[in-house]
A = this chain, B = another copy of it.
Amino acid sequence: MNVLRKVVGIKDLRDARAALPEPVGFVPTMGFLHEGHLSLVRRAREQSASVIVSIFVNPTQFAPTDDLDAYPRDLERDAALLQEAGADLLWTPTPEIMYPPNFQTWVDVDGLTQPLEGEKRPGHFRGVTTVVTKLFNAVQPQKAFFGQKDAQQAAVIRQMVRDLNMPIEILIQPIVRERDGLAMSSRNTYLNPAERQAALVLSKSLAAAQSAYKKGERNAETLRGMMEEIIKAEPLARLEYVSCADYDTLEELRELTGKSLLSMAVYIGRTRLIDNRVLG
């Protein structure tokens, strides 16, 4: 059985990475790992000679009012799970390593970051694309694995890699759900039992819209209205947005003709959750 090696500094990372056989598969995470992350690690294990995982709660993708300080952390448990899932190397840089004094370079994706999460979380994607560029340049993987749970993030990363000629294959893996349908998320840990139950409105409303789609409904406003209604019926839920958008451009649709993305952000109590489904 392989032994998980742990590094913190970038030079140690580069040295350890240079000794690993290629292709290198990379799974960037913010830790507090769940089955969604582990499915990425297992997929990377199948498709790569070596697997590197990073855990870094990236401050630049959180707004001042976001949950950066509260974001759950359990490095010891994460390391045990990664060892079990077959990762070779765990990189846990500190904020000081990633953002030294006088740091001043940013990567921006323009169009795809404007709607949905980008509209509700200004600056979020700038933080994501900048840190992912840094992680990629430090790890130099041949493949990188992301979850479909963050659908817009996946689209933004794919666009960035294409636009900047990064020599990396981006593989997007399906959402992993709890038995009752709740999409796995590190933030689910914030939910009290009543909220945990209420959080099912996300997957339920997506399932209802998908079911209507399967029966032939192609009007986007009808599908959005259907999802809204289900969410608004839940007293603990506060809708931030529902969307029925073109899968590639993320522009809101009138009619569903090609591949489409249903997505939403919903506050359950004080916890902000997102979920999505691809149609067509």
Contacts and interface: CB of A to CB of B under 8 A. Distances in A.
Interface of A: 10, 14, 102-112, 129-130, 133-134, 137-138, 140, 159-160, 163-167
Contact of A112 (B104, B138, B159, B166): B104
Q: How many copies does the complex hold?
A: 2
B105 A14 contact: no
Contacts of A103: 163
A234 to B, nearest CB: 36
Given A14-B167, A130-B164, 11 more contacts: A103-B163, A104-B159, A105-B108, A105-B159, A106-B108, A106-B110, A108-B108, A134-B165, A137-B165, A138-B165, A140-B167
A163 B104 CA distance: 7
A129 B129 CA distance: 15
Contacts of A110: 104-106
Given A10-B165, A133-B164, A167-B140, A111 B106 contact: no
Contact of A105 (B104, B105, B160): B160
A107 to B, nearest CB: 5
Given A104-B159, A159-B104, A137 B166 contact: yes
A140 B140 CA distance: 10
Nearest to A105: B163
6 contacts: A105-B110, A106-B108, A134-B163, A134-B164, A137-B165, A138-B167
Nearest to A156: B105
A107 B105 contact: yes
A134 to B, nearest CB: 5
A151 to B, nearest CB: 18
A138 B138 CA distance: 16
A178 to B, nearest CB: 35
Nearest to A133: B164
B164 A105 contact: yes
A137 B133 CA distance: 11
